[in-house]
Amino acid sequence: MYTEQSSFDELLARWRRLNGSGVVLGIDDMQVRSMAGFDLVLNTEIALREASYRSLKALLGERYALLRSGFGAPENTADLPQMWEGSVPVLVMIGGTDPFGFTERVLEGLAEMGSDRFLPIVVSSEPKAMVDTLARFRAYRVLSRLGSAEVAAWMGFCRIGVIACGSTLYEASGMGLPFVGLSVVDNQTATARKVRTEWGMPVLNCEKGSLDPLALQSGVETVLSRARRPYSEVDTKGAERVFRELEILCG
């Protein structure tokens, strides 16, 4: 993200020397580079329709989002526990190492709203750090090392999500999952703003490590009131659209 343009220029020059007829795709999401030298530029910014890239062609907007292959074929959800009927399943998926402990703080907020009301489906690599908080719920599930088809299945199972505003939000929107977004690092801020204005999802700005529990609870109530229906242009065909354009350029 912060690599100097000169480094990209050198890389492109080396590639052209090795393969003069090859096509080079550049992926960008901040619009601070010209992307000069690339044959094709991909920017999946939400609602983006125009950009000033100096490239042959640009693919713009969330319809080109590169979802993982499993989202086109979610695992069978028939074996997901039926004993949890009556509780609202909530996907809590912050991602990364979660250095600010947002996962546990989200769980605490849900527990305050009613530990019998919600069923947390927590995707985390550090479940031991939140054992006491999870014990407040009647039931819960902690998951790790999931493949994309598994993530897709759980997104289909859950009623709402509380997720970070990284690539997960494209996956959630592809599955039609209403969510509360947490903008946890600076490079998510612009995307989070579009999530709020274009998709109508509540977003909390947590870039400095803060998380307002009342704002979280308000956001949860907001998305619970939404019907589950498509709210974006994200689907499972984004990668196919990109490769189709590459094939055209390759002749």
Each residue's pLDDT tens digit, 211-232? 999 999 999 999 999 988 999 9
Q: What is the pLDDT of residue 205?
A: 95
As a whole number, the mean pLDDT across the chain is: 90
Report the pLDDT value the prediction gives residue 67, as an integer from 0 to 100: 96
CA dist list (Å): 115 to 88, 220, 221: 10, 14, 15
Give the model's pLDDT for residue 78: 60
Secondary structure letter of residue 88 according to DSSP: E
Helix/strand/coil for 106: helix
Q: What is the pLDDT of residue 55?
A: 66
Give yes or no for residue 128 having a pLDDT over 70. yes
**Confidence tier at 82 by pLDDT (50, 70, 90):** low
What is the DSSP code (8-state) at residue 199? S
- Assess contact for 161 and 182: CB atoms under 8 A: no
| Mean pLDDT value of segment 131-137 | 93
Q: Percent of the chain, pLDDT > 90?
A: 66
* Tokens found for residue 59: 């693919």
Rounded to whole angstroms, the Cα distance separating 192 from 163 reads: 11
If you average pLDDT over residues 156-180, what whole number do you get? Answer: 95
H helix runs in 101-147, sequence order: 102-114, 131-134
Predicted local confidence at residue 186, as pLDDT: 86
Contacts of 107 (CB under 8 A, 6+ apart): 92, 120, 122, 130, 133, 134, 136, 137
**Whole-structure pTM value:** 0.90
Residue 32 or residue 173, greater confidence = 173
Q: Which residue, chain included where needed, has tokens 């307002």?
A: 212
Question: Helices 213-224 and 102-114 sit at what angle, rounded to 10 degrees?
Answer: 70
Grade residue 113 by pLDDT with cuts at 50, 70 and 90: very high
What H or E segment, with its residue span, contains residue 122?
strand 118-123
Mean pLDDT of the 8-25 span: 86
